[in-house]
Amino acid sequence: MLTVRELADRFGTTVTFAVRALETIGHNAGGPESPVPDWALARFVDRFGEKIRAVRPKSSVVATFTAETDVAPVVARTARKDKPHVMRVAHSRVTGGRDGQGNRVKRLLDDPGPIHAIDAAGTWDGDPWNGEVLQGAVHFYSGGMNTGPPAACGVSVRAVLSDEFVPEEEPSADLIGIGRRAPAAFRRQCRHCATAVAEGQGFRTPPHERVERTYFCESFLRVRVDGTGEVQDCTLHDRHDGPHRTRDGATWTIGFDDFVPAPLDASRKISKAS
């Protein structure tokens, strides 16, 4: 039995998409490592398989079926090299100044207050250092002095450093109150951020990978009508009850096995598309 993560890897999607797609077909996945029952896998393939393959380049996803009754396609694709998410040091307070040309710029404070943690890869700006841990580099978020993405604790931050946020169980007494002279990763850590990072929380899906609701049911079924391939699209809303229904009145719940043609196609030969 596949897990949610294995299902996402097989179809080349994100785990977030797989979780939300399973919810639309009636299976609430508890997390990436939750098992996907066979009936949910069959519905996932029936509802989303063709659409996923349609938008994937042929060189990256190749699905082969040995028979029309196959439930899980055998997928061959190039391995994705996901950039690692690094929880980085972040500051909620910065100051302003002038550069050599007189332009106004943001600068770090000598004492920025509690050090926060942020998954920079999950922000619109992305991770400026592409998953590498460096020392001393800084990136200021655009916008006003009081704008910025939320840290792991929910506080908006204005700057992110290239240093990795490493939660320590108890702050060292000799590091408290000495400002920027202490290593960035251990300078008066926000306890809420430290707890979240220690528990593996605070990581976020990058904005371009987030799945937004369309408010329309995206289920469809491929059939042959008198030998000609057609796509039967459900025209109901995304959380409708009961079977799927096309504009002409064709219905189905699981797939072709319970497909009922539209009245205008009652006298025509309907077969399953290979």
Pair 180, 263 in one domain? no
Residue 73 is predicted with a pLDDT of 45
- Check whether residue 56 and residue 104 sit in a common domain: no
Distance of CA 9 to the CA centre of its chain: 13
In a domain, 81, yes or no: no
Of 50, 76, 102, the residue at which a domain comes to its end is 76
| 208 within some domain | no
Residue 69 per-residue DSSP state: T
Does residue 182 sit in the same domain as residue 126?
yes
Q: Would you say residue 251 lies in a domain?
A: yes
Choosing from 76, 98, 128, the residue where a domain stops is 76
**pLDDT score for 259:** 93
* Ramachandran bin of 6, using left for φ above 0, alpha for ψ from -120 to 50, beta for the remaining angles: alpha
Residue 195 and residue 238 in one domain: no
> What letter does residue 234 receive in the DSSP assignment?
-
- Could you read off the pLDDT tens digit of each residue along the chain, which spans 274 residues? 678 888 888 877 787 788 878 888 888 877 778 888 888 888 888 888 777 766 554 444 444 433 344 444 444 444 445 556 789 999 998 888 888 888 888 888 888 889 999 999 888 888 899 888 888 899 998 876 667 889 988 888 999 999 999 988 654 444 444 444 444 445 589 999 999 888 888 888 777 766 655 567 888 999 999 989 899 999 888 778 889 999 899 999 988 989 999 998 889 999 988 6
Whether 109 and 183 share a structural domain: yes
- One domain for residues 63 and 93: no
What residue numbers bound the domain in which 228 lies? Answer: 220-272
Q: How far apart are CA 123 and CA 218, in angstroms?
A: 28
Strands 94-98 and 116-119 come out as unpaired
Count of structural domains, the chain: 3
For the CA atoms of 269, 270, 271, 274, the dihedral, rounded to the nearest 10 degrees, stands at 110
User: Same domain, yes or no, for 71 and 94?
Assistant: no
Which of 76, 95, 115 terminates a domain? The answer is: 76
**Is 22:8 a contact under the CB 8 Å cutoff?**
no
Residue 246: predicted pLDDT = 92
Task: In whole angstroms, give the CA distance from residue 137 to residue 119.
Answer: 16
Residue 128 sits in the same domain as residue 176: yes
- Is residue 18 situated within a structural domain? yes
Q: In this structure, is residue 214 part of a structural domain?
A: no
Asked if the structure places residue 14 within a domain, the reply is yes
Claim to verify: residue 15 and residue 69 sit in the same structural domain: yes
Q: Buried b / exposed e across 72-102, counting CB within 10 Å, b at 16+?
A: bbebebeeeeeeebbbbbbbbebeeeeeeee
Residue 196 lies in a domain: yes
Identify whether residues 91 and 198 lie together within a single domain. Answer: yes
The reply to whether 96 and 198 lie within a common domain is: yes
